[in-house]
Amino acid sequence: MSIKEIQEEIIDEFAMFDDWMQRYEYMIELGKSLPLIDENYKVDENIIKGCQSKVWVYAEMIDNKINFTADSDAIITKGIIAILIRAFSNQHPKDIIDADTSFIDDIGLKEHLSPTRANGLVSMIKQLKMYAIAYQTQIN
């Protein structure tokens, strides 16, 4: 499935909910379903800078696709990173680099986050794309 198709799926899922309390609950559920990051990767160099909560992201290249795992010490933040990982994990680095992230605006996420969480969201996207850039240079 392409990143765009996954993003469309996420938009459709969020559209099913009537209000933001339901969407927050759904994000919390997504966070709970996030595959657990290996404890060995919960180290300082895997923490995303710019997030108020602690968010660890680990990336590895498998068959020219990046596989992300993550965790957070905050339930909403864990839901946010779960959405991003769902969209970008198991994708080719170039596709991640080129991916449009406007689906975040389409689901209304950014406008319903506190300014510090919104900054954290931007930092998460930036970090996932940085991993993709690093892995893309290894392919070229």
Catalytic positions, written as ranges? 51
Give first-to-last CA distance, the chain, whole Å: 23
Paired tokens of 123: 């930092």
CA dist 29 → 1, 6, 63, 77 (Å): 22, 17, 29, 12
CA atoms within 13 A on the CB side of 46: 17
Q: Which residues contact residue 57 at a Cβ distance below 8 angstroms, ignoring those fewer than 6 apart? A: 46, 48, 68, 69, 70, 81, 85, 124, 127, 128, 131
